[in-house]
Amino acid sequence: MIYITGDTHGDESRLSTRRLKKLGEGDTLIICGDFGFIWDGSKREQKFLAKLGSRKYNICFIDGAHERFELLNKYPVVQWNKGWARQISGNLMYLMRGQIYEIEGKKIFTMGGGETLEFDLRDDSGLWTRAELPSKEELLEGIENIERVGFDVDLVITHEPPAKVKEFLRLRDSEPVRVSAFNAYLQEFSTLCRYKKWYFGSMHIDKYISASQTAVFKDIVEAFSGEKI
């Protein structure tokens, strides 16, 4: 079974909950960004990562807007379930941007990255300059990979939502709407690609948006039924 949850931000209790005892050998838990456990490179941190990687099920995460990319990018890139990933420890994997993985016979597209509100993400030429946002090459690779499978996947896992979803959620909360070019990319992607379910984590809410789109945070849900555990 494939399960989805939202940003963990280095909170060990999120991965120590009794709910995860339901997961068995061969199951997969996917975290929708801001993993947060690769932060200082300390011995304690390395010990905890090794403990996560020794579980009988896979723990996978995409990156969000708050990661230590200089540490994350030191881990080796490996071929994993037909996509490129970084192996952190054992069954603990970082799912890279623009990749398509096959897990339990399901095609899963991943695109991490997100906006950081504290910074202007463009330089004077209008180009994205910070590691939080995918590069032009990563965005193009995502389109090339989705084209390769006929624009048809089972799951889409991102940190940020498509532009229209973000606008809808921000307006409901009466907060200022900040929609980036990356959100616009995801909006265009949503019109090009067929998918059964799309999960994203950056909004920090657990909310059913539509039959195919769900915001996740602290819930742990089965990917296709949407049932909480």
Rounded to whole angstroms, what are the CA distances from 106 to 4, 32, 41, 55, 224? Answer: 14, 17, 34, 22, 10
Q: What is the pLDDT of residue 118?
A: 47
Q: What is the pLDDT of residue 119?
A: 44
If you average pLDDT over residues 80-98, what whole number do you get? 98
Smallest CA-to-CA distance from 196 within 166, 156, 157 is with 156
Q: How far is 152 from 40, CA to CA, in rounded Å?
A: 38
Q: What domains are there in the chain, each with its CATH number?
A: 2-222 (3.60.21)
Residue pLDDT, tens place only, 108-137: 999 999 876 544 444 444 443 478 889 999
Q: How far is 92 from 109, CA to CA, in rounded Å?
A: 18
Smallest CA-to-CA distance from 132 within 149, 119, 148, 150 is with 119
Query: In which band, very low, low, confident or very high, does the pLDDT at 90 lie, cut at 50, 70 and 90?
Result: very high
Q: How far is 68 from 49, CA to CA, in rounded Å?
A: 15
Residue pLDDT, tens place only, 36-75: 999 999 999 999 999 999 999 999 999 999 899 999 999 9
Q: How far is 125 from 122, CA to CA, in rounded Å?
A: 7
Smallest CA-to-CA distance from 83 within 74, 93, 96 is with 96
Residue pLDDT, tens place only, 64-73: 998 999 999 9
On average, the pLDDT of the chain sits at: 91
Beta bridge pairs of residue 84: 79
DSSP 128: B
Burial class (CB in 10 A: 0-12, 13-18, 19+), 158: buried
Q: How far is 48 from 105, CA to CA, in rounded Å?
A: 30
**Cα torsion for 1, 100, 39, 30, to the nearest 10°?**
-20
